[in-house]
């Protein structure tokens, strides 16, 4: 599907977002292996989170959907059923990596794969710790999906993550739920802690001491009711649109503001963004609030080291903002961007180039000089949701109509994105 996007004359209004994608995956998986019924309110509408539900149903879990709310009848730690077919994770790295931790502990073998993009993403990062725990996993060429997982009674391990990855941390913690003993994961850099929070909500034996997260195996989970906050990573697109538009005034309601995610707001403020947070509250252990953004003078910035891990999903749209800033944006230490849904260093720089924006590419990042003007052009999503949405935002600032090819990719995390964009950008 193509989208034609014309420059915005103004940006403003109020937005509510679908539930956070990261949190939704975790809640659905935990509810499925908990005892009793769980209700998950405001579950993500994105295709990735529907892939997780599809896999869970194929494992025998009963899931009822009413609007964006789910009722899940948990099957307990020992109640999943062997799937009859290959589990389909679609485009979702979170689904395959997190669910593999559960599958590794089942008394049956299973296969899990996904689309072309997912089939090129590395899985050794989960195969290694799950192998240490006793599971046997075979992958295409030793590291790519589909995975063939032969589950077993797992043993607890102490594992230091070689790369900062919340998906891998979650995979090991979820496997640890089933293992004999206490499993501990050490992180090189603190990553999003939604799993730790969700595990606590479901009554797991979770303990966090600085960079060490540990989980006691064999503790049954108890079903519960949780509301998923709005997705801050989806909010990022509208925040950038507002900050870069003179006189813009936008409010985004009920956004998740977990401190391991909200580095985005601090970074935008450090660039000169006028951002305010109101009505801060807690929901299901997560911080939630309303975010106000106004058109601002954006100076520029540097994303490197630990900050890169904290902003990893937002870098495509921040690169767009960087081009309109006074001093530009530099991103370093972002090798992980090359193994996301696309090589995002390559896809961002390609679309920037098509829109007449200069950028210097490094193996681990890019530099986008400031004070540049977007030219109307034909750009592509390359099948990557965040690339589609980042360049839909860039198109608002172009000198004419932009044609975005493959715009349907946005539905992976945010099916309502273009409708909402039209509402806020007149
Ligand atoms: C996610 C972790 C990050 C992020 C992804 C979602 C999660 O991936 O990029 O969009 O929900 O845990 P990595 O674990 O590969 O860093």
> What's the pLDDT tens digit per position in 384-397?
999 999 999 999 99
Q: What pLDDT score was predicted for residue 348?
A: 99
Pocket test for ligand 1, best of 49, 91, 165 (most atoms within 8 A of CB): 165
The residues annotated with a catalytic role in the active site are: 313
Quote the pTM value: 0.98
Q: What is the pLDDT of residues 4-63, one digit of tens each?
A: 999 999 999 999 999 999 999 999 999 999 999 999 999 999 999 999 999 999 999 999
- In three-state secondary structure terms, 330 is strand
Pocket test for ligand 1, best of 312, 317, 318, 341 (most atoms within 8 A of CB): 312
Architecture of domain 21-227: Alpha-beta prism (3.65)
Sheet-wide strand order for 12-16: 12-16, 249-256, 286-294, 274-283
For residue 313, which atom of ligand 1 is closest to its CA? 9
CA dist 309 and 260 (Å) reads: 10
Q: Which residues line ligand 1 (CB under 6 A)?
A: 22, 94, 165-167, 170, 192, 312-313, 336
The Å distance, Cα 357 to ligand 1 centre, comes to 28
Task: Classify strands 365-368 and 329-331 as parallel, antiparallel or unpaired.
Answer: antiparallel
For residue 164, which atom of ligand 1 is closest to its CA? 16
Flag whether pLDDT at 254 surpasses 90: yes
The Å distance, Cα 192 to ligand 1 centre, comes to 8
Sheet-wide strand order for 144-150: 87-88, 109-113, 144-150, 136-140
The Å distance, Cα 115 to ligand 1 centre, comes to 18
Task: Give the closest residue (by CA) to ligand 1 atom 15.
Answer: 165
Pocket test for ligand 1, best of 20, 22, 46 (most atoms within 8 A of CB): 22
Domain with CATH 3.65.10.10 in the chain: 3-18+229-425, 21-227
Q: What is the pLDDT of residues 288-301, one digit of tens each?
A: 999 999 999 999 99
Range 65-75 average pLDDT: 98
Q: What is the pLDDT of residues 112-138, one digit of tens each?
A: 999 999 999 999 999 999 999 999 999
Task: Give the closest residue (by CA) to ligand 1 atom 11.
Answer: 22
CA dist 64 and 346 (Å) reads: 40
Our measurement of the distance from residue 395's CA atom to the centroid of its chain's CA atoms, rounded to an integer in Å, reads 23
Q: What pLDDT score was predicted for residue 384?
A: 98
The Å distance, Cα 343 to ligand 1 centre, comes to 15
The Å distance, Cα 231 to ligand 1 centre, comes to 13
CATH superfamily ID and name for 3-18+229-425: Enolpyruvate transferase domain (3.65.10.10)
Flag whether pLDDT at 426 surpasses 90: no
Q: Provide the angle, in degrees to the nearest 10, between the axes of the packed helices 194-201 and 166-176.
A: 30
Task: Give the closest residue (by CA) to ligand 1 atom 6.
Answer: 22
What are the start-end ranges of the E strands in 332-371? 360-362, 365-368
**Mean pLDDT, rounded, of the chain:** 98
Structure tokens belonging to residue 182: 């206490």
């Amino acid at each position: 599907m193509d989208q034609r996007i014309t420059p915005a004359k103004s940006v403003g209004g109020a937005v509510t977002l679908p539930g956070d994608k990261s949190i939704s995956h975790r809640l659905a998986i935990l509810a499925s292996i908990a005892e009793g019924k769980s209700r998950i309110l405001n579950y993500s509408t994105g295709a990735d989170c529907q892939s997780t539900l599809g896999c869970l149903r194929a494992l025998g879990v009963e899931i009822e959907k009413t609007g964006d709310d789910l009722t899940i009848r948990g099957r307990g730690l020992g109640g999943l059923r062997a799937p009859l077919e290959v589990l389909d994770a679609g485009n979702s790295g979170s689904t395959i990596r997190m669910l593999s931790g559960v599958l590794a502990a089942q008394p049956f073998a299973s296969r899990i794969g996904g689309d072309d993009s997912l089939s090129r993403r590395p899985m050794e990062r989960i195969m290694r710790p799950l192998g240490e725990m006793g599971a046997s996993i075979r992958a295409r060429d030793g590291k790519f999906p589909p995975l063939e997982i032969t589950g077993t009674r797992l043993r607890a391990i102490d594992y230091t993550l070689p790369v900062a990855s919340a998906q891998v941390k979650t995979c090991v913690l979820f496997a640890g739920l089933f293992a004999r003993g206490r499993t501990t994961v050490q992180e090189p850099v603190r990553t999003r802690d939604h799993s730790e929070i969700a595990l606590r909500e479901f009554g797991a034996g979770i303990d966090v001491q600085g960079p060490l997260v540990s989980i006691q195996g064999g503790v049954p989970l108890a079903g519960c009711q949780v509301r998923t906050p709005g997705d801050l990573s989806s909010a990022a697109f509208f925040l950038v649109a507002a900050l870069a538009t003179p006189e813009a005034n936008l409010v985004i309601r009920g956004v998740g503001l977990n401190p391991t995610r909200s580095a985005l707001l601090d970074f935008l403020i450090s660039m000169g963004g006028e951002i305010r947070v109101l009505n801060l509250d807690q929901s299901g252990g997560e911080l939630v609030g309303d975010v106000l953004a106004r058109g601002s003078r954006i100076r520029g910035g540097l994303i490197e080291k630990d900050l890169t891990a904290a902003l990893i999903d937002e870098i495509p749209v921040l690169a767009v903002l960087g081009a309109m800033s006074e001093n530009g944006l530099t991103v370093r230490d972002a090798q992980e961007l090359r193994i996301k849904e696309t090589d995002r260093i390559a896809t961002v720089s390609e679309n920037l180039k098509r829109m007449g924006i200069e950028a210097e590419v490094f193996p681990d990042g890019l530099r986008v000089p400031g004070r540049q003007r977007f030219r109307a052009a034909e750009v592509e999503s390359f099948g990557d949701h965040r690339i589609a949405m980042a360049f839909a935002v860039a198109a608002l600032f172009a000198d004419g109509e932009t044609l975005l090819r493959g715009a349907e990719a946005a539905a992976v995390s945010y099916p309502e994105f273009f409708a909402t964009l039209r509402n806020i950008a007149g």
